[in-house]
Amino acid sequence: MKKFLLFNLLALICLGNAAGDVILDSTAKVTMEIKNPIEAEKTACKELETYIQRIFSAYKEKSCANARIVLQYDVQLGAQEFKIKCGSGKIIISGGRPQGVIYGAYWFLDRKMGVHLYDAHSEYCPSKEKITVKAFEKYGKPAIESRMYLFTNDKQSGDPKDEAGIRWGTFNLLSGNRPTAEKDLNRKYGERAEWSLPLGAHGMLGLIPGKMYKHRPEFFAFQNGRRIDPVLRDVTVDYCLTNEALIAETVKRCRHFLKMTPSAKYISLSEGDGN
């Protein structure tokens, strides 16, 4: 009788949270229930697996948890929307494409697993024997569609393509980095080329660069009886915004750069700093 009661007590310990809380430990498994997953969904799966291993690496003892984290693609959800449902021994993360699933995975790591990326090269990852996740449902949809950030190439850390910056931005649910030709990285993290080349901010500096002063000085501001040489002004270049030819050339170059990045939704026409 005592053995029977002991067995049932152990069973209750293992199953007591089956309909509610989910216990994650070193036995947790990540499964992808997505046919033909895109690159961002593969990244989401790999990131979850990596952090589960890191968090629980010091506690390899087997337990009765055996929880699952399931990734699913939901055609009903928008490009940046995700849903998370926790209960019955598993956590289901579903999302739209291209960023829904990876947003859901990163949100879960940050808000429920305690993993934080403070910048591209500084993070906190806890070390625990187990994490109990209370039953919950989460629906995520950004209030602002475009949440761009500017993160420059970090050549000092051996990251010339800026993957660390793109990863950091996606982890923190930002939608796109500065304009980049690194299409493979965009696919890996689900980012869209929201902003066309040449620049995501102060775009006029790239559309009408200072070197054009030599053969089109009339494009630049006339002050105190003379045209302002943009070389002397650096990022504070002043343009002659009433010049019809400047407007036509700007439109021409906008079309040129938009053809280079056809998926872009925006192009920057803003001037430099300090004008």
What are the structural domains, with CATH classification, of the chain?
A: 18-140 (3.30.379.10), 204-260 (no CATH)
pLDDT beyond 50 at 9:
no
Mean pLDDT across the chain: 85
Task: State the Cα–Cα distance between residues 238 and 252, nearest whole angstrom.
Answer: 20
Q: Tens digits of per-residue pLDDT, 74-86?
A: 999 999 999 999 9
For a pLDDT cut of 70, what percent of the chain falls above it? 83
pLDDT beyond 80 at 236:
no
pLDDT beyond 80 at 188:
yes
Mean pLDDT for 168-187 is 78
Of the candidates 160, 20, 177, 163, which has an alpha carbon nearest to the alpha carbon of residue 90?
Answer: 20
pLDDT value of residue 8: 47
- Of 25-29, 162-166, 265-269, where does mean pLDDT reach its minimum? 162-166
- Of 23-27, 239-243, 258-262, where does mean pLDDT reach its minimum? 258-262
Confirm if 203 and 235 have CB atoms less than 8 A apart.
Answer: no
pLDDT value of residue 166: 85
Three-class DSSP category at 179 = coil
User: At what angle are helices 163-171 and 100-111 packed, to 10 degrees?
Assistant: 70
pLDDT value of residue 243: 95
Task: State the Cα–Cα distance between residues 71 and 42, nearest whole angstrom.
Answer: 10
pLDDT beyond 80 at 2:
no
Mean pLDDT for 136-153 is 83
Q: DSSP secondary structure string, 118-184?
A: EETTEEE----S-EEEPPEEEEE--SSS--B-----BGGGTBTT-HHHHHHHHHTT--B-SS-S-HH
